[in-house]
Structure 1
């Protein structure tokens, strides 16, 4: 449930609950005063007393008009009072004639004034409430007279005093309890994910990304928690990549320094040898100069490879893609280098049966990939006769090119590292390898949308595999 809907429902309950409670109270009062045994007794008593008081009131009016002397007869009035549930009061001018026993508690000020004839449903005498019927007349001597018939209305007052406070307090308690429960559940559903985010933010601020937070709801805050955790994961990955790049940068600087320092030191040594006369013959000088030229050429190739690697890494090297038959392309390149490899005792074989696929590639860049892999095998060959096998297989929607040799190979733990920049095996340390050739090949294949990996041969040696995506029937690469 969304937060908006949850808040709407809680507010609606807070508004509707008092209304429902008031309706229930009204129904309860209606049942109490209109349908229950107690209410029937209350209603019947009220109606019977009202009817009896009306008859008694009519009798007193007749007596006041025709038999005034009976108003002085206490015994007669006592008999009439016994017929009523209330009280009879006779007042002459400002003097209470009846009842004499309540004369001290009833004064002129308690009673309505003369000429206030009628029915007053609310009148208080002391702490008791009465309904008052009043009849005004004149005594024979001309004095103002009033007859009051007081009926107790304590039944309803007692009921109201007893139950209304209970109902009112119950209503307040229900409202308070509802408010507390709604506030608790609504705030709990909001505060829990907020606390999750707060704790996670605190961990991230301390550099701790090795945790995950799971949403406990499917509302907006749950989605926020899920998004925050995705951000944490991406941030962790970004920092790991940054640290990796930083480590690679440090290694790159260290390796560049090492690979440049060695030939420069050698060049300086030979130059000093010429300057101080160590190379005192023309043959020695020529040999020194050839060595200096070889070292300088190596440095030039290293700088070119560094520049190419950096350009590829920054995606600033332009690629010119064209549709090429991969079998013909690889065969043509191998034919070009076959004689050169034979001079180095390298036997080259090629197999691409049943392969007639077209791929989209940059000719120059893919030639560099093939050359780097093949010459890397030649460079580290430890046998008198080197065997390099090149094959192509159709593995829809890719073509896979495999280049295998019978050289010393690479340990299993280093297989995944040979495509890293400046990776050098123990053989490379002795043979002057820069370690950039396979790293450049990996970048070029990645830009072509393929994959590259290495495997150890079943009989030793190293096998390098890479894939290229085939073109579809309409000349587009397969999706």
Structure 2
């Protein structure tokens, strides 16, 4: 759920939930606070309480009038009059009965001398509400006078205002308390929700940024939320992973750079020292005969060519690595192209007693390539096969597999093969299975690395399969046109 929707629901909840809780708490707790039968809402509402008083007192007075008409003696029965007490006490009313000016019965709620002495006599204030003790609390709600067998009887219904006010105040306090409790519960719930939804994720992000600030890019923040904060944390995690990959690439780049400098130094130092030695021999007069002089000069020339080739390949590899080589892509028939290439290579293979075979029956397969760069790839692979041939006659086979969107080319030899330990690294620059880096077999150590860069630039891939003493297969694929 998004934070926007959550905030909207929170605002709605701040209004509705307290109202619902107030009604629930009133229903559950009012019975514990108010232990009589009068409804809590009547006690909390003075108007309802006043109406209840009027209704009860009127009902009792009507019943007394009926009794007076039907059975006058019943009004002299104290036990009968007591039956009204419980009903009247619920709404803070009491009853007083006087006969010939003397009190015959009085309810407990109004049983005070100061009340009884101030009640009107028989025939005074009949049916009129009047105050007895103005400054304190009592009011006569009704007075009925009856004449029964030469006896003057007065029945008074009296209101205890102080008790009424106390209960009303109690109800008000209860209502306020319930309201505060409901608001506190809602506030706590919404605060907890906001803490979990916003504050806690922000704390996670704060911890994450603190770790990144200290250079710890391995600190992981996990969050499965589907809101804005969850998206923010996932974006943060993506940024952290990108930074870590960039850092790792930078570390690897620095290591490669150091290795590159070391390899260049080694591969340049060897021919330079050789050239220097031959020149010193010429200066010292070691090469006295013309034949020996020619040998020294030819050797110096070969070493210089080797250095030139190494520098040229290094320059090409650097440009490929930086994507600064321009490619001239065109659609060609790869079958026809490979046939011509094999014809050109066959002469060189015959000189070393080798053979090159093209296993392809298809008439035409069109691909998108840069001819010059593709030729460089094929030559690099075949030159590697020649350099690492075994004692057997070298046989190189070229196979093509056609797929829906690309063409796979295999160049397979029967040479020495490559160990499983060395196989994953043969496309790294300056990598040689020969750890001594013996330059007698020639080459720069960049051929397969350059081939990989060229094939990648064609949108393809290159890999190798090999077995020691059996041979090596180099596979690469290129896109069809």
Distance of 2:248 and 2:131 partners within structure 1: 87
2:427 is equivalent to residue 416 of structure 1: no
Distance of 1:459 and 1:272 partners within structure 2: 42
Match of 1:284 in 2: 292
Distance of 1:461 and 1:263 partners within structure 2: 30
Distance of 1:77 and 1:404 partners within structure 2: 138
Match of 1:448 in 2: 458
The residue correspondences of 1:111-260 to structure 2 (distance < 5 A) are: 125-128=134-137, 130=139, 152-154=160-162, 156-210=164-218, 212-260=220-268
Pair 1:335–1:51, CA change in 2 (3 A)? same
Shift of 1:47: 4.1
Shift of 1:77: 10
1:353-402 deviations in Å (ceiling 9; x for gaps):
23631001111000000000001111122325211111112133221111
Pair 1:124–1:235, CA change in 2 (3 A)? farther
Matched residue SS, 1:412: coil
Structure 2: 5+ residue stretches without partners: 31-38, 64-97, 119-127, 143-156
Structure 1: 5+ residue stretches without partners: 53-74, 88-97, 103-118, 134-148, 472-479
Match of 1:112 in 2: none
Match of 1:4 in 2: 4
Distance of 1:174 and 1:340 partners within structure 2: 95
Distance of 1:166 and 1:468 partners within structure 2: 84
Match of 1:380 in 2: 388
Distance of 1:434 and 1:421 partners within structure 2: 9
Shift of 1:194: 2.2
Shift of 1:18: 4.7
Distance of 1:294 and 1:364 partners within structure 2: 25
The residue correspondences of 1:85-124 to structure 2 (distance < 5 A) are: none
Distance of 1:345 and 1:339 partners within structure 2: 10
Pair 1:16–1:41, CA change in 2 (3 A)? closer
Aligned-residue CA RMSD in angstroms?
4.0
Match of 1:433 in 2: 443
Distance of 1:221 and 1:403 partners within structure 2: 54
Shift of 1:211: 5.2
Shift of 1:7: 1.8
1:45-90 deviations in Å (ceiling 9; x for gaps):
45469999xxxxxxxxxxxxxxxxxxxxxx9995699999999xxx
Matched residue SS, 1:423: coil
Distance of 2:479 and 2:21 partners within structure 1: 74
Distance of 1:130 and 1:230 partners within structure 2: 80
Match of 1:44 in 2: 55
* Contact 1:325 1:356 (8 Å CA) reproduced: yes
Distance of 1:121 and 1:433 partners within structure 2: 126
Give the alignment's TM-score, normalised by structure 2. Answer: 0.74
Matched residue SS, 2:428: coil
Shift of 1:154: 4.0
The residue correspondences of 1:17-32 to structure 2 (distance < 5 A) are: 17-19=17-19, 30=41
Pair 1:281–1:402, CA change in 2 (3 A)? same
The residue correspondences of 1:312-327 to structure 2 (distance < 5 A) are: 312-327=320-335
Matched residue SS, 1:354: coil
* Contact 1:368 1:441 (8 Å CA) reproduced: yes
Select 1:305's aligned residue among 279, 302, 313: 313
- Number of residue equivalences: 412
* Contact 1:355 1:393 (8 Å CA) reproduced: no
Distance of 1:123 and 1:4 partners within structure 2: 64
Distance of 1:29 and 1:251 partners within structure 2: 89
